[in-house]
Amino acid sequence: MRTALFPGTFDPITLGHTDIIDRSLDLFDKIIIGIGVNASKQTMFSIDQRIQWIENIYKGNDKIEVREYKGLTINFCEEIEANVIIRGIRSVGDFEYEKAIADMNQMLNPSIETIFLACSPKYSSFSSTLVRDVIRNNGDSGLFLPMEIRESIAQIK
């Protein structure tokens, strides 16, 4: 079975994230969306809220599973028996950063590959960080979010 991990904080999950996930579905038997817990990151939404959103977006899709994890992503891959890490790339800067991480992961476990997918051009100019700024400042974040979480965000505000 080809199992892939798509790791991130997904705070919140954006249309850019779902673009990468949706385009990966035909490539793998199972995709585990791993929500990494990083003590040094200040998140806007709780881990439970982020899990619920992603589960709502992909309800009924047996190929998608959502899990929380702590520690090194490569260790989580070993735990869930994922042989591929999926990373979305928006720009050259993303590639340089992600390549350095992929190189370290390759040294830690050569049997786990990292695959980079370029996001669709319409999603390449925004990130979760920018979307959080829009939300904090009462902008129209719905332009950047999956339909399944737009109402939820509006209720939270």
Order of strands across the sheet that contains 30-37: 64-70, 30-37, 3-8, 84-89, 113-118
Q: Which residues, listed in sequence order, are joined to residue 87 by a DSSP beta bridge? A: 116
Nearest to 152 by CA among 60, 57, 67, 64: 57
How long a stretch of residues is the chain? 157
Structure tokens at 33: 């969306």
150 in catalytic set: no
- The helix (H) or strand (E) run that includes residue 3 is strand 3-8
User: Of the residues 24, 50, 87, 128, which is catalytic?
Assistant: 128
17 in catalytic set: yes
Nearest to 86 by CA among 107, 111, 117, 64: 117
User: Of the residues 40, 41, 59, 111, which is catalytic?
Assistant: 41
41 in catalytic set: yes
User: Of the residues 30, 63, 90, 99, which is catalytic?
Assistant: 90
90 in catalytic set: yes
Q: What are the residue numbers of the active site?
A: 17, 41, 90, 128
